[in-house]
Structure 1
Amino acid sequence: MSALCGLLAAGLIFPLAASGGAAVSTGTELLEDIPTELEEEPLSVPSHIYASDGTTEIATFYAENRQPVTMDEISENMVDAILAIEDERFYEHGGVDPRGVSRALVNNLTSDSQQGASTITQQYVNNMLINAVVLTGEGRLTISGTGEKTYADKLREMKLAVAVEQEMTKEEILEGYLNIVLLGGRNYGVEAAAQFYWGVPASELSISQSAVLAGMVQSPNGYNPAVNPEASKDRRDIVLGAMLENEAITQEEYEEAIAEDLGVEEIYPEETGCVSASMGPYFCDYVRREILASDTFGPDEDSREELLNRGGLRITTTLDPDAQQAAQTEVDATVPSDDNSGAGAAITSVEPGSGNIIAMAQNRNYTPEDGDGNTTLNYNVDSDVGGGNGWQPGSSLKPFVVAAYLEEGGSTDDVVDASPDEWADTQRWEASCLERGYTTTDGPWEVENVEEDSNRRMTIDYGVYFSVNTATLATATEMDLCAITDVTDRLGIHLATDTDQGLSPQNPSFVLGTDNVAPLTQAAAYATFADDGNFCEPRALLEVTDTHGNEYDVPEEDCEQVIDEEIVAQVNDITINIAEGTIAAGNPPFPMAGKTGTTDDAVHTWFVGYSSGVSTASWIGNPEGNENGYRESMINGQYYEDFYGSTLAAPMWLDYMEQVGDDYDTSDFREADDSPFDDRRDRSRYSGGGELPDDDEAINSRDSDGDDD
């Protein structure tokens, strides 16, 4: 070592002395300041998002595509190739090879060309230093801006290499090196490279393939076989020659390998991000945003994104792969992404009793690229997690009005006068939570019903079943509007543009569903009716761990009883008849309940419904705004003169639920202690003793909403 240090000083420090004493002083101080211990940072490893089964991969995120493996998972051919071309005396030196240094010094002093002498240990150190700088932002890379290492860089690298050899075995160094070395593009390590170029694991690399990868170390992109095949082949052949010279392969093996093509006509890239998600790209985006917003994963968004791209996270989510596939199939079949109507379609499902999001689909291609049917806007969620401004829910808000009315002491059997359809701006609507204790409309207000002969006296349940707007407003005039918003607050209903802002009683029209909300909000709220008044915050994460087995805190189930189960049972009496009697035409596959919603001119249409085990919001509408609706329009090749929640949103919901429902609880809903129904599925109460017709026209005319503004 003394002789080596003398050689280094003579060959590396003395050339600096020509520039003066200051340079000599700097070199001496540098030697003293060089650390003797390599401070290692964890290798950058891709993160993976999985569905709830823990095996279905949704997406991969990485800054460096790396798949760490152990030595027994690496082909002996690969080991032979890298040693032959990079460090044939690897097992003989102690981190720095005196022969190599001497050879390089003589060459560099006697010719214009520069020759390196870095051992694999030195290269490992160099790569670890680069990795540390990338991760921490501290220190400096050993490669200068010109692409050349300075003498100071080499000295530090050598000193650390000697220290590493004293702390690690040769096998550990070689394994670390083969997992960290760059092998073209963003592929790091032999496993990721083997998968990328040939679709095989590192354990199956052939002699020729190993030689290609070993040859790339000198210039990862210059000898990239997918980019520069001729240069790559020439370099491969040099490596094969070195392997033959070192007796790592026989003459016959050499001749066979050198005659082979590179075999990279088809590469196997590991796509990254939600754009390349195998399923549920919009759910993937929702999960990504949740991680970037949580201080559990770092102090700021940049550090969280760094962790996602480099930390090797294993993210297990709540997504049910079967439910997701069914949801995607249904939205695509109902309104194709390239349909001329431009209509949007979305399905979101949550599990009552847990809040787990089990499906999130829409009829669009998740991509930032321009084009019909392309968007990264998530129709299912709030604006702060990648959604838009939300959609008006229309009459799907009416069950919450009924729940509030029941809490105030009313009954679904109560009769209201649904005759008035005009209200003066002097009409006072009780709203105790407002400063004045009441509110008024901004001007004279007229409301229409779709069904003829609806402006008359009727029971509360009849008015909800037929979506009679004037009946809902008649109900609201007999109660405190703040009692309604109190219920919606407890059910987590908030504006899509402001998650802290619930529905406001300031404008009485809110009871007809004029405030924009997201489908996920609707699905979670209706899940409360499915679970006897137990509301659960929606959640997407089940477990997050990193490559070292560290677990990160994720939101646990957050549920609370917010409505009395008897009130829920009475609301369900009505919604069961809507879903089972009308939507399922009296032949439901299992107990189900729900409510339609339609806004002015059918701009937005809904069916939000549930079984005991699944709550689903189904939406079809105009994602561009609240002006152009779908009455008298062509959707998916069919003309619709009228368009309601029961036209496409409800059938889409039913088809989806028939596929998914049996995978979850399908037990009967709780019976109300004081129900006005002799049979909860007997619609005779709503039809004067006769059966409602089940043809499409009759369903549309009866189960629809009118103007809501």
Structure 2
Amino acid sequence: MASRKSPLFDTATTVGKIMSFLGVSALCGLLAAGLIFPLAATGGAAAAAGSDILDELPTELHEEPLSTPSRIYANDGETELATFYAENREPVGIDEISQDMQDAMVAIEDERFYEHGGVDARGVTRAAVHNFTSSSEQGASTITMQYVNNVLVNAAYLRGESRLTISGTGEKTYADKLQEMRLAVSVENEMTKEEILEGYLNIVLLGGRNYGVEAAAQYYWGVPASELDIQRSAVLAGMVQSPNGYNPEVNPEASQTRRDVVLDAMLRTDKITEEEHEEAVAVDVADDLEINPEEAGCVSADMAHYFCDYVEEVILSDDTFGPDRGSREELLNRGGLRIVTTLDPGAQQAAEEEAREAVPADDPQAVGTALSTVEPGTGNIVAMAQNTNYDPDAEGTGNTTINFNADFDYGNSGGFAAGSTLKPFVAAAYVEEGGAMDDEIDASEDHYPQYDSWDAHCLPNGTATVLDDDGWSIDNVADDAEREMTVDYGLYYSVNTATAATAKGGDLCTITELTDRLDIHHAYSGAGLDPSNPSFVLGAEEVAPLNLAAAYAAFAADGEYCSPRAISEVTDTHGNEYEIAEPNCEQVLDEDIVAQVNDSMINIAEGQIANNDPNFPMAGKTGTNDTASSTWFMGFSRGLSTAAWVGRYDSNEQLYNRTIAGEHYEEFYGSTIAGPMWLDYMNTVAEDYSTEDFPEADDSPFSDRRDMSRYAGDGGGGEGGGDADDDDDNGDDDD
């Protein structure tokens, strides 16, 4: 079906014929004379004809929301983290704009603004005569007409119509001008002069990406629009004719010349006195500037840059905010969203300080640190920090936009080998299958030959097989660890052969089914842990700190797992609320099983990390991969679960026998830097949340959960009775 041609653009119509025959200048003359435009007519057939023609034009201005910056806030709703915008605009009321600014704009753009009804017949006549008799062109747009045009251009952009004017050609057609006039009259009937002027002063472009007088005043001089004086008001009013040509930052000489024209107009219209005029003209525009650029995006954040980046990606990935990524980005940059997050600014500040103090960003070894904190029972992300500088343009050690804490899809990190942080889940699965933490296991086996089979009910034939030609060899840090011991003892000392024996005595799929319930997954692919290779039980898979923090939070919350959650509230400039998911929590582990495993992890955290002098009840587990390039302490109180990671982010080179942060380390484990970093941070923030004691298991095999003697004596096996330097497992398989 052929497209229907609008009569507005058809030269066969009355309007079209007039346009073609007379041209725009003559048309403006006709409008001024009242032959077409009803307001100028005094009656008679001409007015009636004009009315009939203009009846074809729309009479209602359909406004779209102004492009307004979106802002991200911490959980208090007051601490601003970052601003996103395509157009730097801060809408304000007319009472928040100085009278000088209002007077300057009216004087230079439309001195009869308060007298006409939207179209200035006198101005149209003047422009028509000038354009008819001169090679140059003169416009006759009133402030109301300019406001209409700006609104239409804004609406067209938001609707995805690439056009710079009403018609979309970049230059106004006769029809554009007529529509502007008709809509201007309509606007004058619906809005007061103050409302029109307010709208115009908030929508007009004033150089660069600054829209509206408030944003411009803040950008050029660091003052609100309410404090704009005569000289500065004249500078801004002068920019309307050519926002970039008269930009005082880019072209101060042209800006000053144009400013003086505005000041002359203000004097001529009695808005300022001779003395005020002379005083304003004497000011040098360039010398008066105090540029205050407001960078957009997470790079502009004062804190929590990587968390900001995470929140941005959450929004861009969520169809709540639009059908596709492009529309969501438009909403974020133009929709004036108020995004309240779950971030605790106090905890975030402490996390950033600890992450940077543990290892400076510019450490020559390219060692990264990361802290992710999740609130048990809600999944709210309380803090997310790392020691590097967030700078998309900077290069070199210590500068990266990669978010160590998040999965690849939310931060471009492939994660880090989990190491022994996976061992508590192996123990939990063992207890879930009917075992107990005081069960004796044979940890003497340190080699499993090729084709050795392990029970795995979810795999074909119900088994997993060691496939490496040389089989699977397992090392332990401590000497004399290959012997019989309890599951509890093996977890406390992080004995690799004990974890392998624990898994061998059960079913590998039971372990991965448990980790699936806790959503432990590969940071790059998002896939769950693979039970087909038994070595996964020693933490060979790369995971993200945030992922582990959420999983460990289930140990703090009596088995309740909550998905990590970064956003609590989103509203737009009109107060409309977006539907944000409430905490997504589910009971995935039995409370008694959690309490039994926690008994061991309490002693790890309080004995090994806090040196038997904890400031609050705590629990956790260290972790180190087999190359000592990734080290962890995963710890929690009842109110906070925090992943502390320290490792290489540019390679898999080992960290032992190196000088890091000014100190030389012959050995390097989870307890070396990650553990102390976790403890210092948690000692600062834990008391702001619950620090009550952990529940005891109903049938705990240990009469005293904090009885450290069960790890000592002739059962010690040479591990040093909890010595922090010997607690971990450089032998974790990461092949």
Note the alpha carbon deviations across 1:266-324, whole angstroms, 9 max, x for none.
31122210111121111111111111111111111111111111111000000111111
- SS where residue 617 of structure 2 aligns? coil
Q: CA deviation at 1:343?
A: 1.3
Which residue of 292, 297, 309 corresponds with 1:273? 297
Alignment match, 1:24: none
Alignment match, 1:233: 256
User: Does 2:312 match 1:285?
Assistant: no
Whether the 8 Å CA contact 2:628–2:730 is kept in 1: the answer is no
User: Does 2:102 match 1:79?
Assistant: yes
Which residue of 440, 449, 454 corresponds with 2:465? 440
Distance 1:7-1:451 versus aligned 2 partners, 3 A rule: closer
Whether the 8 Å CA contact 1:350–1:614 is kept in 2: the answer is yes
Whether the 8 Å CA contact 1:468–1:705 is kept in 2: the answer is no
Aligned counterparts, 1:697-708, within 5 A: 698-708=723-733
- SS where residue 552 of structure 1 aligns? coil
Q: CA deviation at 1:126?
A: 1.0
Whether the 8 Å CA contact 1:693–1:699 is kept in 2: the answer is no
Distance 1:111-1:458 versus aligned 2 partners, 3 A rule: same
In 2, distance between residues paired with 1:10 and 1:432?
85
In 2, distance between residues paired with 1:692 and 1:199?
68
Which residue of 456, 473, 478 corresponds with 1:431? 456
User: Does 2:391 match 1:383?
Assistant: no
Distance 1:664-1:697 versus aligned 2 partners, 3 A rule: closer
In 2, distance between residues paired with 1:109 and 1:265?
41
- SS where residue 494 of structure 1 aligns? coil
Whether the 8 Å CA contact 2:343–2:383 is kept in 1: the answer is yes
User: Does 2:368 match 1:344?
Assistant: yes
Alignment match, 1:403: 428
Whether the 8 Å CA contact 1:683–1:691 is kept in 2: the answer is no
More deviation, 342-351/243-252 = 243-252
Alignment match, 1:660: 685
Whether the 8 Å CA contact 2:508–2:531 is kept in 1: the answer is yes
Note the alpha carbon deviations across 1:598-656, whole angstroms, 9 max, x for none.
0112011000000000000011112234x312111121121111110000111111111
- SS where residue 627 of structure 2 aligns? helix
Note the alpha carbon deviations across 1:525-572, whole angstroms, 9 max, x for none.
000000111111110010000011100011211111111111111111
Which residue of 575, 585, 588 corresponds with 1:562? 588
Whether the 8 Å CA contact 1:183–1:189 is kept in 2: the answer is yes
Aligned counterparts, 1:256-271, within 5 A: 256-262=279-285, 264-271=288-295
More deviation, 142-151/467-476 = 142-151
Whether the 8 Å CA contact 2:485–2:715 is kept in 1: the answer is no
Alignment match, 1:532: 558
In 2, distance between residues paired with 1:399 and 1:696?
19
Alignment match, 1:199: 222
Aligned counterparts, 1:298-697, within 5 A: 298-372=322-396, 373-443=398-468, 444-499=471-526, 501-625=527-651, 627-688=652-713
Whether the 8 Å CA contact 1:350–1:527 is kept in 2: the answer is yes
Whether the 8 Å CA contact 1:582–1:694 is kept in 2: the answer is no
TM-score (norm 2): 0.91
In 2, distance between residues paired with 1:533 and 1:458?
26
In 1, distance between residues paired with 2:614 and 2:647?
26
User: Does 2:142 match 1:123?
Assistant: no
Aligned counterparts, 1:139-154, within 5 A: 140-142=163-165, 148-154=171-177
Whether the 8 Å CA contact 1:605–1:645 is kept in 2: the answer is yes
User: Does 2:204 match 1:181?
Assistant: yes
Q: CA deviation at 1:139?
A: 7.8
Whether the 8 Å CA contact 1:448–1:470 is kept in 2: the answer is yes
Letter in 1 for 2:353: T
In 1, distance between residues paired with 2:604 and 2:90?
53
Whether the 8 Å CA contact 1:469–1:705 is kept in 2: the answer is no
In 2, distance between residues paired with 1:173 and 1:8?
31
Alignment match, 2:193: 170
Whether the 8 Å CA contact 1:467–1:705 is kept in 2: the answer is no
Whether the 8 Å CA contact 2:73–2:79 is kept in 1: the answer is yes
Aligned length: 694
Whether the 8 Å CA contact 1:465–1:703 is kept in 2: the answer is no
Letter in 1 for 2:140: A
In 1, distance between residues paired with 2:405 and 2:348?
13
- SS where residue 375 of structure 1 aligns? coil
Whether the 8 Å CA contact 2:417–2:630 is kept in 1: the answer is yes
Q: CA deviation at 1:143?
A: 7.3
Distance 1:7-1:80 versus aligned 2 partners, 3 A rule: farther
Distance 1:8-1:79 versus aligned 2 partners, 3 A rule: farther
Distance 1:423-1:139 versus aligned 2 partners, 3 A rule: closer
Distance 1:264-1:380 versus aligned 2 partners, 3 A rule: farther
Whether the 8 Å CA contact 1:534–1:563 is kept in 2: the answer is yes
Note the alpha carbon deviations across 1:325-346, whole angstroms, 9 max, x for none.
1111111111211110011111
Note the alpha carbon deviations across 1:224-256, whole angstroms, 9 max, x for none.
111111111111111111111111112222222
Alignment match, 1:52: 75
Letter in 1 for 2:500: L
In 1, distance between residues paired with 2:118 and 2:721?
81
Letter in 2 for 1:476: A
In 1, distance between residues paired with 2:718 and 2:83?
51
Structure 2: runs of 5+ lacking an equivalent: 1-13, 27-49
Note the alpha carbon deviations across 1:197-247, whole angstroms, 9 max, x for none.
111111111111111111111111111111111111111111111111111
Letter in 2 for 1:642: E
Letter in 2 for 1:330: E
- SS where residue 493 of structure 1 aligns? coil
More deviation, 672-681/589-598 = 672-681
TM-score (norm 1): 0.94
Alignment match, 2:39: none
Distance 1:235-1:656 versus aligned 2 partners, 3 A rule: same
Whether the 8 Å CA contact 2:375–2:641 is kept in 1: the answer is yes
Distance 1:581-1:106 versus aligned 2 partners, 3 A rule: same
Whether the 8 Å CA contact 2:88–2:209 is kept in 1: the answer is yes
Whether the 8 Å CA contact 1:332–1:363 is kept in 2: the answer is yes
Alignment match, 1:23: none
In 2, distance between residues paired with 1:154 and 1:14?
15
Whether the 8 Å CA contact 1:395–1:705 is kept in 2: the answer is no
In 2, distance between residues paired with 1:56 and 1:148?
44
Q: CA deviation at 1:697?
A: 11
In 1, distance between residues paired with 2:558 and 2:614?
21
- SS where residue 122 of structure 1 aligns? helix
Q: CA deviation at 1:690?
A: 11
Whether the 8 Å CA contact 1:222–1:228 is kept in 2: the answer is yes
Whether the 8 Å CA contact 1:226–1:264 is kept in 2: the answer is no
Q: Percent identity?
A: 64
In 2, distance between residues paired with 1:346 and 1:236?
52
More deviation, 370-379/46-55 = 370-379
- SS where residue 490 of structure 2 aligns? helix
Alignment match, 1:3: none
Alignment match, 2:158: 135
